Amino acid sequence: MSVKFFGQFLALEGVVDDEQLRNAVELTKSRNMLLGELAVEDELITTEQTLQINREQLNRDLPFGQIAVDLGLLTQEQVESLLVKQNEIRLRLGEACVQLGYFDDVTARKLLEKFHEEQALYNFQNATLPENIAKNRTANFVLNFLPRIAMRVSRIHVKIVPTPVEENIEPNIASIALEGPEGLRIGLGSSGEYAGQLLKGMHLIMAGEEASEEETQEDVQNVLGSFLDIIAGNCLVCMASMGLNLKINPPVLGGRIKEGVHYSLVTTSGNATLTLAPF
């Protein structure tokens, strides 16, 4: 057994083949909508305003709806109505497989129960962290924040494997350091696919349009550095609220952190490894 997503679990269980899994994933993508997309569809805000909120989310670890209310773009009542609508139309992967006739409701429930039971063993919240970062609040923030910001930036699902690996072997790497009490150096190694998805997401948020083919080929280490800068900025704000005053050093492109703790990231787009080391 290992850390995996529900789609991988279904394929390994042999209840769907690769083509059926792709069909089910595409069906969920066609049905599920982001809160901002629903707000634009209902003509409550504009597409540019959704991007404004998305950009604000890079600096503030808050849900889309809360930032929209803070900026005066939506009311709390409108957000609650949109959340109800979003939940009503949401189509989960198992439900999509049922709709496509791959298995029935009873089988879907049994598979989901088995999946959750198996994956409970790999819940990072239950992991025993190495002594040098176990009580480091900066490290704990990064471990909890990275999956959220990866989803917000580029719709990449990420799970952190709780058992450390020996080294960061990914071909592209960048790092950033937070200096001060409970300081931390954060390294991110990545395949080209993972970095490319980050680039596409950040380009859409910042420029309001899809990245061109040429732009997606730019130095992926720069992309990783920019992504780490977002993580560090949010970490700075969070730690300041706890009375820890940290300073962010500029991202470093290339160069591996050999003395840190390395965690594999299971993602829906490529491979990545996170490295944490006290600084």
Rounded Cα distance, 143 and 145, in Å: 6
Average pLDDT, 10 consecutive residues per value, the chain (279 residues): 88 96 96 96 96 94 96 97 97 97 97 94 82 92 94 92 90 94 95 90 84 67 92 96 95 87 93 94
Single pTM value for the model:
0.90
Rounded Cα distance, 259 and 276, in Å: 9
Rounded Cα distance, 230 and 41, in Å: 29
Confidence (pLDDT) at 215: 65
Confidence (pLDDT) at 217: 60
Residues 6+ apart with CB under 8 A from 134: 128
- Record the tokens describing residue 186, joined without a space: 């954060």
pLDDT one-digit tens code per residue, 101-136: 999 999 999 999 999 999 988 888 777 888 889 899
pLDDT one-digit tens code per residue, 26-61: 999 999 999 999 999 999 999 999 999 999 999 999
Confidence (pLDDT) at 76: 97
- Record the tokens describing residue 4, joined without a space: 């995996």
Confidence (pLDDT) at 33: 95
Q: H/E element holding 273?
A: strand 271-278
Domains along the chain with CATH numbers? 6-121 (no CATH), 128-278 (3.40.1550.10)
